[in-house]
Amino acid sequence: MDIKVIASGSSGNCYKVSDGSTTLLLDAGIPFKEIQKGVEWKMTAVDGCIITHRHGDHSKSIPELLRRGFDVYSNNDVCSLFPLVQKVYPMKKFVVKTFEITPFPCTHDVECYGYLLHSTVTDERLLYFTDTAYVKYQFSNIDYIMAEANYSFDVMAENSKSGQLPWNVSNRVLSTHMSIDNLIRFLQSNIMHKVNEIYLLHLSDANSNAEEFKLRVQKETGAIVYVC
């Protein structure tokens, strides 16, 4: 499976995944022109876009995608904002060409889904989640993981103590985003022997340590780890 990070972080998120037969966008939280650049101007190859939740850094280009006739899929909350988005349901599989996709609820301050993508062409499975304090589900036979690793509790606590980060902001982050420690706990509770690559997404500029996060996940899983 081919995975390309177009944008990751609080300023915008968008990823391209392809199994050689079907190409999907995961989130569209950047200007449409940036998406076009990210797919090397080959928008006709894009078969659909899956959105995790309504926040602008994940949904910004939904109106333009819909206007241009692309299929966009998401939860009820996103559909209430953009009626042309196709509604999908938690734990109910839907199909986009050669991808079988299962949404699952995440823990954020708005309705948010993660997605398990299974390619019927390559028989590979990709797990994608972001903007969630934790994931309560267990998975097996996963080949690729794209997961939020937003902050280190110790770094964020120090920033709050020093006044660099308001306490109300840090409290919100604790309940809505995934720390590196929670990600490690998730990885420990799932069967990781088949995982080839792990992509660490949506790192906080001020509250993370990219090199430390990468080393911890590599040590835990033995997989190739990319920090995005």
Q: Whole-angstrom Cα distance, residue 174 to residue 79?
A: 27
Provide the token pair at 104. 């699952």
Amino acid at 181: D
Q: What is the pLDDT, as a whole number, of residue 23?
A: 98
- For the domain covering 2-227, report its CATH number: 3.60.15.10
**CB neighbours of 37 closer than 8 A, spacing ≥ 6?**
none
CB 221 within 8 A of CB 194: no
Per-residue pLDDT in tens (0 to 9) along the chain, 228 residues: 999 999 999 999 999 999 999 999 999 999 999 999 999 999 999 999 999 999 999 999 999 999 999 999 999 999 999 999 999 999 999 999 999 999 999 999 999 999 999 999 999 999 999 999 999 999 999 999 999 999 998 988 888 888 888 878 788 888 899 999 999 999 999 988 899 999 999 999 999 999 999 999 999 999 999 999
Query: What is the predicted pLDDT for the residue at 121?
Result: 98
DSSP-derived pairing of the beta strands 14-18 and 86-87: unpaired
* Residue ranges of domains in the chain: 2-227
Determine the pLDDT at residue 179: 96
In the chain, the N- to C-terminal Cα span, in Å, equals 17
pTM: 0.96
CA distance 85 to 217: 35
